[in-house]
């Protein structure tokens, strides 16, 4: 189907705007069709067909109280979505109580807007394959306001900037239909989350992936390549309260919160950098894989293998019981580097101790306190870890580690990696699960190295993220 484009040619940008990189693939006659108001935008949406691209001119638009921009019963296709886009990135500013409202729609892309609403933007369960990309989110600073709520399957949230909140409330909340299900296959990537300064003890996460009542449901979400800076609204920057998720290749800098598997089972936390903030990783639930993470310069607890108020959550629990902590059982913690943190690897003291964890091929380096301060734990396997620094071994079991200088060298990106001749090279011994590459993207090969880094002289394929890698203008 031939694409139609609705475009206004001239307007004054309300924000510093960057021209869109994707030119409309239409003829000049079609490109002249104007969208100069919210009424014209709504008419264009109502008439949209698969493959259409609706462009709203730069300017500030205030949605009237009680009104919205309705996307109802509109369905693009996988190859030909309906795209609603700002003339330039950040150039179309949407103010007012409510912005886009989606109903019974699929394959819709919303791109390049500056959102300044005072109510949540929801992707409801009766929609699917909704994409929010290259937008700027700074909603009204209202106590308890959730900015984006996802209940739809197969949604994508990518290359957006979520920023500047001082009150309780969450940037992205992921739920699902009913009271126990989760939205499926959400992909959150290349976003920039910054400057949430809420000072309370709870309720200011950048991402909350589920909630206690949905913990046993698999979401199959992927959260990757996101940058979090100065996210101080909650001790949990990425709060996982569902099962079967992948959290990988994210960078958390100078933030109160870390990555917390608070509820749920079978998640994979891989290749993340947590740098210069407070908390690192906290683990509850069963059968998680924690691999290739780098935790450096944290003033709080770097890695916590959690105890529980219950052994395992189950579907027959009361609401109050489900809110409790589930002891961490059968976690595999392999090829991580923990460097110069206030507390390196530790446990807790709840009634149900963690069991059957594997802690292997990790590099723990510190200059004060104890490198290992586990509470009661049952049937842990400790294997071929390296401990180093003036910090004491703590209660690391003999035979589970070697105390030797790993010969780390800090690169221009501030990350310490192995140097030639390090005793960590080729010293890893855990055979399963298979770990094919390291935090930089270097192949592990047959003789694997201890820690997150596999020694290599080649440039890293992955690195700690900067603002150039994420947000509306990222590649």
pLDDT digits over 94-143, tens only? 999 999 999 999 999 999 999 999 999 999 999 999 999 999 999 999 99
pLDDT digits over 149-160, tens only? 999 999 999 999
Average pLDDT across the chain, whole number: 92
The arithmetic mean of pLDDT across residues 341-347, rounded, is 97
Length of the chain: 475
Location of structure tokens 């990790």: 362
pLDDT computed for residue 205 by the predictor: 97
Query: What percentage of the chain exceeds 90 in pLDDT?
Result: 89
pLDDT computed for residue 30 by the predictor: 42
* Pairing of β 281-283 and β 106-111: unpaired
The arithmetic mean of pLDDT across residues 380-406, rounded, is 97
Higher-confidence position of 188 and 316? 188
pLDDT computed for residue 31 by the predictor: 42
pLDDT digits over 205-220, tens only? 999 999 999 999 999 9
The arithmetic mean of pLDDT across residues 461-469, rounded, is 97
1 pLDDT higher than 70: no
Higher-confidence position of 245 and 20? 245
Higher-confidence position of 23 and 217? 217
Per-position DSSP letters for 35-91, written without gaps between them = --SHHHHHHHHHT--TT-EEEEPSEEEEEPTT--EEEES-B--SSS-EEEEESEETT
Domains belonging to the chain, first-starting first, are: 59-405+464-469 (2.160.20.10)
> Hey, CA dihedral for 281, 318, 349, 401, is it positive or negative?
negative
20 pLDDT higher than 80: no
pLDDT computed for residue 60 by the predictor: 98
Query: Minimum mean pLDDT among 2-6, 259-263, 323-327: which range?
Result: 2-6
pLDDT computed for residue 292 by the predictor: 98
pTM of the model: 0.93
The arithmetic mean of pLDDT across residues 49-54, rounded, is 97
* Pairing of β 82-86 and β 5-6: unpaired
pLDDT computed for residue 34 by the predictor: 66
Is residue 371 within 8 A of residue 396, CB to CB? The reply is yes
The arithmetic mean of pLDDT across residues 44-56, rounded, is 97
């Amino acid at each position: 189907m031939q694409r139609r484009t609705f475009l206004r040619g001239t307007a004054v940008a309300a924000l510093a705007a960057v021209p869109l990189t994707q030119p409309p693939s239409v003829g000049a006659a079609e490109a002249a069709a104007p969208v100069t108001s919210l009424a014209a935008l709504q008419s264009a949406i109502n008439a949209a067909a698969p493959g259409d691209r609706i462009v709203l001119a730069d300017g500030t638009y205030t949605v009237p109280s009680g009104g919205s921009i309705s996307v109802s019963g509109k369905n693009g296709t996988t190859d030909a979505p309906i795209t609603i886009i700002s003339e330039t990135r950040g150039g179309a500013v949407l103010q007012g109580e409510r912005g886009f409202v989606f109903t019974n729609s699929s394959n819709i892309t919303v791109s390049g807007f500056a959102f300044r609403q005072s109510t949540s933007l929801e992707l409801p369960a009766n929609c699917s394959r909704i994409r929010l990309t290259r937008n700027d989110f700074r909603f009204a600073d209202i106590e308890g306001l959730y900015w984006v709520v996802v209940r739809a399957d197969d949604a994508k949230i990518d290359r957006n900037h979520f920023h500047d909140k001082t009150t309780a409330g969450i940037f992205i909340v992921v739920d699902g239909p009913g009271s126990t299900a989760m939205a499926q296959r959400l992909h959150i990537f290349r976003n920039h989350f910054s400057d949430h300064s809420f000072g309370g003890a709870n309720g200011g996460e950048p991402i909350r992936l589920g909630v206690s009542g949905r913990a046993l449901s698999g979401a199959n979400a992927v959260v990757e390549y996101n940058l979090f800076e100065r996210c101080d609204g909650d001790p949990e920057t990425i709060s996982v309260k569902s099962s079967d998720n992948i959290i990988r290749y994210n960078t958390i800098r100078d933030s109160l919160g870390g990555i917390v598997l608070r509820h749920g089972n079978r998640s994979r936390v891989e290749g993340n950098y947590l740098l210069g903030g407070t908390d690192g990783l906290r683990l509850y639930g069963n059968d998680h894989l924690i691999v290739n993470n780098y935790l450096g310069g944290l003033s709080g607890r770097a890695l916590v293998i959690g105890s529980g108020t219950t052994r395992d959550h189950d579907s027959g629990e009361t609401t109050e019981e489900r809110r409790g902590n589930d002891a961490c059982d059968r976690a595999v913690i392999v090829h991580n580097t923990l460097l110069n943190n206030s507390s390196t690897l530790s446990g807790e003291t709840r009634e149900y101790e963690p069991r059957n964890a594997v802690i292997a091929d990790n590099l723990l380096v510190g200059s004060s306190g104890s490198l290992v301060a586990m509470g009661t734990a049952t049937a842990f396997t400790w294997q071929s870890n390296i401990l180093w620094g003036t910090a004491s071994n703590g209660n690391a079991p003999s035979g589970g580690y070697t105390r030797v200088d790993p010969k780390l060298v800090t690169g221009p990106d501030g990350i310490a990696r192995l140097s030639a001749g390090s005793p960590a090279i080729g010293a890893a011994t855990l055979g399963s699960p298979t770990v094919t590459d390291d935090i930089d993207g270097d192949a592990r090969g047959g003789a694997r190295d201890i820690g997150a880094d596999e020694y290599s002289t080649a440039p890293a394929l992955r690195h700690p993220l900067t603002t150039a890698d994420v947000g509306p203008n990222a590649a």
